[in-house]
Amino acid sequence: MAIKYNEQDKLFTLLTQNTSYQIKIGPYNTLLHLYYGKKVDHNLDYLIQTMDRSHCGNPNEAEKDRTFSMDTQLQEYSTFGMGDFRISCLDVINKDGSCAADLRYKSYKIMDGKYQLEKLPSVYETERITMQTLIITCIDIVTNLEVELYYGVVEEYDVITRAAKISNLGKDKIELLKAFSTCLEFPNSHFDLIHFYGKHSLEREFDRTPVGHAKLSVESMRGLSSHQHNPFVILADRSATETNGECYGFSFLYSGNFQAQVEVDQIGQTRFAMGIHPAFFRYEVKPGEIFTTPEVAMSYSSEGLQKLSHNFHKLIRNNLCRGKYKDTRRPILINNWEATYFNFNTEKLVLIAKEAAELGIEMLVMDDGWFGKRDDDFSSLGDWVVNTNKLGTTIKELADRVNAVGCKLGMWFEPEMVNEDSDLYRKHPDWCLHIPNRPMTRCRYQIVLDLTREEVRAYIYNSIAAILNSANVEYIKWDFNRSIAEVWSGMKDENHQGQVFHDYILGLYEILERLNNDYPQVLIEGCSSGGGRFDAGMLYYEPQIWCSDNTDAFDRLKIQYGTSFGYPISAVGSHVSAVPNHQTGRTTPFHTRGVVAMAGTFGYELDVNKLLTNEKEEIREQVELYKRNYELINSGDYYRLTSPYENTDFTSWQTVSTDKTQSLLSVVYHQSHGNSNFYKVLLRGLDENALYQINGEDKKYSGAALMYAGFVLPNPWGDYQAYQYEIKLSK
């Protein structure tokens, strides 16, 4: 059993293949956290320690016993207002204006299968990967506020999921000021916080910060998970590396405002908590109502960051992503944006599609500019009707012609936005998020639609459905090109504006769920000016996300390196683009651009009709190699062999099939230098007792030799040179 309860000791134990998580019903029905780490199937309640500490209050029931305090105990779900002054998970306002919640254990339930969350993304079980659920119910007996703590145990991946349902069983409304999803405590303070910061066109940069006696916070208040901070973080032992040491990962399955906080308390204990950002969050829960927090997936590794990443990669690929393209090979696509920008028509697109199909590319994506009067980014968002004067055809005629030359057709949408210069805005200005009597804040000269409104959600769905019903469109690029400011909805009174941010995300998920159900054959790729909404919540609805608007192969080394810690290659949208690169002006070899783009869902972002003959031949070779290794790249184990932050000479990575019979090694040099050093790289994940051949050559290498002695790399001639090696078990 993955979940056990010891009635005598009042002890819950959650077990995965390699980890244990233990909870104790403590004194006065408090819910205490005992342990999370390497597998230990033993009663660990001896770890609880007490002491009379000044200024650390005691529960009323303790009477004269001053040794037990909620301010010093490790807890499962901390609350504010009852004597614990550290990071809280739950802050409330009661009818009398008090700000306190005192949760005590009430009951529990263990069941086979994985709980699911209404209207929110959630990890799910399959026939092969089964799960168990623990629900621990706690209650504040004064207000009858009930909190159900949900734990999902995914044994095979060493993953435990957390969520909470907050129910008002009382007679008066309660307002939530903070409702986090998870809390995790440690009796020590030897951690670094690894997080992934950035900006537009340089997302998910790696940062490692020591945790100390002050709160560290990673967060977004932009209405989306953001380019600036990602809702995936790691607590790592100070000595942890890629292949050694303890580390804990936390992935928030949510696409809106979030906060991850960690602090070391006065006696050297560490508390971590994660959930919806409390800024401008004020959620009313009326008698009989329930508020559900989003899910956090967490995992522990005693074998370093590499193993932790593998746990999350498998979880996301197999038990979070859904639909046809979860397992089906996704088409290699070409997007016309950097080829034409707004200047295109059907004839241009068909010419690109025809040449692309001859090179083995399988889908043409028509990007921004096909609708309304859209010749720049100042107008027509919201008017999702084809501009036949510009295009020269209907969407059906375009799709038929693109299909006829051997390509599928995909289309770009930005459904959550509207321009003031649009028919939609002129007809429904009240459909926007906008504070009355204040000037509007524009970004990319566009305004955010109010997805809390049912009529707006219906309009967005119907607009997209009309296009999908009219033609053979097999892909949607769903974009979102600004942060959300002026958060005010005309659908809510002054007492409920604090619900808008969260209700907006629920509205977004509702639309995407409906599209997935009604058009299961359509592949949806997420985008938010590239990687601004790259999170596990979106991957529940969209199995891949455009990793960054920056397609420069050298910059992508860092972007894709950081992304790989929490997300699999199969989720990473990555393309070969033209040079000089449109974001950096840098020129890199065509081959190098292909090698880097293959660490993702492979495609192109250029005009193939403008390429040289040798470049077209390279496309044929790249496409053939990618198709040949698709399963390996997208389903194999991914290894970060070198870091672009630490190794100034080259970046290398490797994917290995689960049966260890084949591997793909990729190496990109940064710059070349005179009289250069000799270089080698140590491979990982192979069978040390097996013999392998590289790129079909006769020479054989043992797995042990390649992993422990290393593989010798060539010396580069010229900057940004790349090499790729297909490694296969010798026959």
Q: Domain of 306: which CATH number?
A: 2.70.98.60
Residue 278 near residue 178, CB atoms below 8 Å: yes
| Residue 426 in domain | no
Q: Do 663 and 725 belong to one domain?
A: yes
| Residue 486 in domain | no
Q: Domain of 698: which CATH number?
A: 2.60.40.1180
Structure tokens belonging to residue 309: 């990443």
Q: Do 532 and 582 belong to one domain?
A: yes
Bond from prior residue into 59 cis (ω within 30 degrees of 0)? no
Task: Please give the pLDDT value at position 731.
Answer: 81
Q: Among 608, 632, 656, identify where a domain stops.
A: 632
For the chain, what is the radius of gyration of the CA atoms?
Answer: 27
Q: Do 99 and 33 belong to one domain?
A: yes
Task: Please give the pLDDT value at position 692.
Answer: 98
Q: Do 607 and 676 belong to one domain?
A: no
Number of structural domains the chain divides into: 3
Q: Among 602, 632, 662, identify where a domain stops.
A: 632
Task: Please give the pLDDT value at position 1.
Answer: 78
What digits encode the pLDDT tens for the residues 138-173?
999 999 999 999 999 999 999 999 999 999 999 999
Q: Do 672 and 599 belong to one domain?
A: no
CB atoms closer than 10 angstroms to residue 287: 13
Rounded to the nearest 10 degrees, what angle do helices 454-470 and 500-518 cross at? 30
How many Å from the N-terminal Cα to the C-terminal Cα in the chain? 41
CB atoms closer than 10 angstroms to residue 311: 24
> Active-site residues: which are they?
535, 615
Can you list the residues of the chain whose pLDDT is less than 50?
none
Phi–psi pair at 593, nearest 5 degrees: -60, -35
Rounded distance between C-alpha atoms, residue 589 and residue 579, angstroms: 9
Task: Compute CA 108 distance to the chain's CA centroid, rounded to the nearest angstrom.
Answer: 31
What digits encode the pLDDT tens for the residues 96-106?
999 999 999 99
Rounded to the nearest 10 degrees, what angle do helices 454-470 and 395-404 cross at? 40
What digits encode the pLDDT tens for the residues 229-250?
999 999 999 999 999 999 999 9
Q: Do 644 and 628 belong to one domain?
A: no
| Residues 233, 236, 242, 245, Cα dihedral to 10° | -150
Phi–psi pair at 423, nearest 5 degrees: -65, -35
CB atoms closer than 10 angstroms to residue 405: 16
In the beta sheet, which residues pair with residue 662?
728
| Residue 84 in domain | yes
Q: Do 521 and 383 belong to one domain?
A: yes
Q: Do 106 and 220 belong to one domain?
A: yes
CB atoms closer than 10 angstroms to residue 582: 17
Mean pLDDT, rounded, of the chain: 97
| Residue 18 in domain | yes
Residues 6+ apart with CB under 8 A from 527: 477, 478, 479, 480, 533, 545, 546, 573
Q: Do 207 and 307 belong to one domain?
A: yes
Burial code of 594-609, b = ≥16 C-beta within 10 A, e = fewer? bbbbbbbbbbbbbbbe
| Residue 440 in domain | no
| Residue 106 in domain | yes
Closest-CA residue to 230 (of 218, 240, 241) = 218
Q: Do 221 and 249 belong to one domain?
A: yes
Rounded distance between C-alpha atoms, residue 332 and residue 323, angstroms: 18
Q: Do 253 and 354 belong to one domain?
A: no
Residue 513: its H or E element:
helix 500-518
Q: Domain of 371: which CATH number?
A: 3.20.20.70
Max CA separation in the chain (angstroms): 87
| Residue 287 in domain | yes
In the beta sheet, which residues pair with residue 4?
13
Q: 347: domain range?
A: 329-417+454-479+512-632
Q: Among 269, 286, 319, identify where a domain stops.
A: 319
| Residue 438 in domain | no
Q: Do 367 and 412 belong to one domain?
A: yes
